[in-house]
């Protein structure tokens, strides 16, 4: 009988700021998490990710490599970040030269089950639940849909 190779979920080589709270199980590795941030259970944060100060990453969120999240951000349950755009019609796999970066600025809320492709989202933005962000967002506001579109501006 064949036996699979098992790997353990865990926390390895993470740079934590002061006052960070992590609810296990979580899979965090080779990333940075800023002061007073919260990481819920069943979250994966991959290598080369930076999470700012006072952020809340809710359960079952997936933050792939090459994502930067600013300060005071909220990432809701089941939100997914993607760094592979399937440019050649298939997964890039381990070819990191085909992966792209994502930047989430400060004071951004991302709703439950939203999918964030490699984009830049400006500060003071809300992404509605279930939305798919396919293009950069340069104007603060509330965005929803697939693809996500501005549905209301936010006064600063």
- Listing DSSP states for the chain in one string gives ----------EES-EE-TT-EEPSS-EEES-EE-TT-EE-TT-EE-TT-EE-TT-EE-TT-EE-TTEEE-SS-EE-TT-EE--B--TTSS--TT-GGGB--EEE-SSEEE-TT-EE-S-EE-SSEEE-TT-EE-S-B-S-EEEETTTTEEEEE---
Can you name the CATH fold of 11-151?
Answer: UDP N-Acetylglucosamine Acyltransferase; domain 1 (2.160.10)
**16-74 tens-digit pLDDT:** 999 999 999 999 999 999 999 999 999 999 999 999 999 999 999 999 999 999 999 99
């Amino acid at each position: 009988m064949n036996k699979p190779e098992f790997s353990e979920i865990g926390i390895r080589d993470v740079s934590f700021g002061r006052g960070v709270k992590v609810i296990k199980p979580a899979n965090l590795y080779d990333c940075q998490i800023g002061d007073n941030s919260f990481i819920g259970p069943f979250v994966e944060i991959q290598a080369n990710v930076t999470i700012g100060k006072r952020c809340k990453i809710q359960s079952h969120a997936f933050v792939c490599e090459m994502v930067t999240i600013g300060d005071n951000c909220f990432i809701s349950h089941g939100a997914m970040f993607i760094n592979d755009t399937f440019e050649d019609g298939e997964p890039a796999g381990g070819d990191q030269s085909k992966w792209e970066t994502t930047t989430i600025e400060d004071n951004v809320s991302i709703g439950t089950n939203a999918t964030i492709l490699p984009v830049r989202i400006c500060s003071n933005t809300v992404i509605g639940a279930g939305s798919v962000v396919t293009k950069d967002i340069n104007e603060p506001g509330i965005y929803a849909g697939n693809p996500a579109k501005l549905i209301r501006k936010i006064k600063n």
